[in-house]
Amino acid sequence: MMKLNKILTLLCFFSGTVYAQKKDYPIQPVAFTHVHVNDQFWAPKMEINAKVTIPHTLQQCKMDGRIANFLRASKTIPGDKLTVFPFDDTDIYKVIEGASYAMQMKADPVMEKYVDTLISIIGAAQEKDGYLYTFRTVNAAKPHQWIGSKRWEKEEELSHELYNSGHLFESAAAHYQATGKKTLLNIALKNADLLVRDFGYGKTERYPGHQVVEIGLVRLYRITGNEQYLNLAKFFLDKRGPKGNAYNQAQAKVVDQHEAVGHAVRAAYMYTGMADVAAITGDKRYLKAIDDIWEDVVNKKLYITGGIGSMGEGEAFGEAYHLPNMSAYAETCAAIANIYWNSRMFQLHGDSKYIDVLERTLYNGLLSGVSLSGDRFFYPNPLSSMHQHERSGWFSCACCISNMTRFLPSVPGYVYAQNENNLYVNLFMGNTSEIKLPVAQVKIAQVTAYPWDGKVEIKIDPEKNAAFTLHIRIPGWARNEPVPGTLYNFVETKPSPVMLTLNGKPFKYTVVKGYAVIDRTWKKGDQLVFAVPMETRKILANEKVKDDKGRFAFQRGPVVYCLEGPDNKDSVVQDIIIAKNAVVTSHFNPDLLNGIEVLTVPGSGTHRKLNSNELIKVDQKVTAIPYYAWANRGASEMTVWVPYEESVSKPRPAATIASRSKVSGSLTNKQLLAAVKDQYEPADAKDKSYPYLHWWPKKGSNEFLQYDFDQEYEVSASKVYWFDDSPWGGCRVPDNYQLLYLSEGKWVPVEAVTDYLIEKDKFNVLRFKPVKTKALRLKVHLPKDNSSGIHEWIIE
């Protein structure tokens, strides 16, 4: 009987129909294929993604060897040289997913042919039983250390075999949904069937080291109706813990986890998979766990930009309220995963607070991950910078780049949702859509300049007069709640009212779960105007977030702002103070950063006098731009959180011999070199709050750092603060170092009168007999098994 049911299911699937599940999310998103965005904000960004980002990523994948991985696995080309990471295969899957979405929006025969070729290459690399993992199939003479001697052997640790499968399944589902082709889907199903055969109770009982396969399996289940895929997704979740590692959320059974810990991307993917399985199976223990975890994040671990994962070490969630700004990790992939998770939470509960978090992440912490040109990227997304953060065209670990290519064209799928005859308007962007409700087919269109203007015109055109309920989200920031929970609040407590008119007349609406609810019989041509006040608001963080004390952030509508060097006096922003009650004005500048709303506000810059504690304060006009648009004009200073209290400001230090010097060394990175003379003293040797120099990944080598003075000085002391991020990082204090001065064109050791100290968490002071010179050089010998670094180098 089971065999017959499977045959009938597959026949139903391959006849072109989609199996209807009995249980699923009560609220379903309106598919991206039915929503056509045509505004001036998102449409250009999706076009750049299609015309620039996707081709750029495909080209980089080719140049970097990711396509060759598959060709070598299939023996199409010789050799066994592969790329750096066993999960590099997924970059091909993700960019195919993005291209599929993009081609559904706008036909591209050239891209379609290229994607078809890629799918053929992928299929040729698949083993006969469905196994698809190039790093093993290539059978390298020296296998990658992460993959183990047998299939699945190191899956819980590093192999990423199931992670690769998960992204394959996601890509195949999107490709099938967008194009109707089953070429990639057939490859994915063959691989999924192998997983069903190999994994389960009494078989291979391991869980994924990096979660995502659970989401992919559920997508295949929805397409095929094959319950084995759903059951396997649940098995992978239930098998986690309780004796595993918190890094990949295996420290407890998933139903016993109630706070966000470990690697942020893995975590949010897992919470998304838990929501998927809970929606279909009705497992209330899953719901309880992810509800509690969500509360933990929004109340204690969410950046104002929507970013998650504050720790560079382990790309992980930090402790409660640990939200540093300059060292913020907030990975782009984590922002994408956060959107996936919050969209599912909305589908489960129908509460606008989840869309509030989704929207915040979308316009800020996610969009900052890609340049306006579409070909430069951020992996981490810090909230403060002193020139050390710069976008890159590629990373050896390119997950964030390929993830962005697949996410941006899927944005239309988050605009609307429905539950029977309840139609939800969640996001505001110009678009047209056709939505089939049980009562009637409905055309809906939005005309808006959101997020710069809060006026949204919504035209409702049912095919016939029809009674249904429209739910229009009133953003939390328009209801005096920047983020659900207690982590952030507005300085101003009285927002302007949200206005709604129906067919030109004011309409009194009721609010349910954050939505303006309109229950009526709709007619062709009905016109709603929804007006959200676009006021610039100042946001304060919970007093337990020590990094934001005495500071506020600007927000206008859903957009968080930052101060960036190019727009402000002397290209400096870390020294700026703005009064809490300062009046902010805004104007739209169509010629700046592809067109943005710019904020201006009176403030002041401060700097110190030499050899004095006295501060010199100079009034100045301060300019703020949307956070997502920063770092599009090169490396610069930037800050989201602006001091309003002098005690937390960072006045520009007075000039010193070192700060006026030209710095050079055995490394060439200008940002790293400049860090040693920025005059910011660290809290300890491992402090990453400010820029620092490091020679990582070099070990055991001889390195140097050099100051060329602006004139000849008599000097007699050197102070070095070593960077040492032990026990987890790769830098330690050096084995030894030597100080030399330039004399008649030759480097001569100084005559020390104190010992050469090499100690952590302090300035190592070396005093020597005075010399007159125009340059000093540090010769540093790195330890045998580690690198070294320097926070500050002071000359007296």
Token pair recorded at residue 787: 């690198």
Do the Cβ atoms of 602 and 619 come closer than 8 Å?
Answer: yes
- Confirm whether 574 is domain-assigned: yes
Shared domain check, 573 and 689: no
- Confirm whether 685 is domain-assigned: yes
Q: Which residues of 659-687 are buried (b: 16+ CB within 10 A; e: fewer)?
A: bebebbbebeeeebbbbbbbbbebeebbb
- Confirm whether 291 is domain-assigned: no
Shared domain check, 704 and 790: yes
- Confirm whether 128 is domain-assigned: no
Check residue 613 and give its pLDDT.
67
Shared domain check, 670 and 791: yes
Check residue 495 and give its pLDDT.
76
Shared domain check, 593 and 526: no
- Confirm whether 724 is domain-assigned: yes
Do the Cβ atoms of 734 and 781 come closer than 8 Å?
Answer: yes
Shared domain check, 688 and 592: no
- Other Cβ atoms within 10 Å of 617 Cβ, number: 14
Shared domain check, 569 and 501: no
Closest C-alpha among 359, 556, 352 to residue 473: 352
Shared domain check, 641 and 704: no
Shared domain check, 790 and 668: yes
pLDDT along the chain (796 residues), means of 10: 39 37 87 94 97 97 96 97 96 97 90 96 98 97 94 94 98 95 98 98 97 98 96 98 96 98 98 97 96 98 98 94 96 98 98 98 98 97 92 94 96 97 98 97 98 98 97 96 96 86 94 97 96 95 97 98 96 95 97 98 87 80 98 95 92 86 90 88 88 92 95 95 91 96 95 94 96 96 95 94
Domain count, the chain: 3
Which domain does 705 fall in, by range? 662-795
Domain at 422, CATH number: 2.60.420
Cα angle, residue 662 at apex, residues 661 and 664 outer, rounded to 5°: 130
Check residue 22 and give its pLDDT.
63
Shared domain check, 784 and 667: yes
Residue 654 has φ and ψ, to the nearest 5°, of -70, 150
- Confirm whether 490 is domain-assigned: no
Question: Are β-strands 499-502 and 505-506 bridged in parallel, bridged antiparallel, or unpaired?
Answer: antiparallel
- Confirm whether 465 is domain-assigned: yes
SS3 content of the chain, % helix, strand, coil (to 5): 35, 25, 40
> Three-state DSSP class for 757?
coil
Shared domain check, 565 and 551: yes
Closest C-alpha among 695, 663, 660, 689 to residue 676: 663
Shared domain check, 567 and 672: no
Last residue of a domain, one of 648, 679, 695: 648
What lies within 8 Å, CB to CB, of 75 at 6+ separation is none
Domain at 683, CATH number: 2.60.120.260
Check residue 496 and give its pLDDT.
83
- Confirm whether 280 is domain-assigned: no
Shared domain check, 630 and 754: no
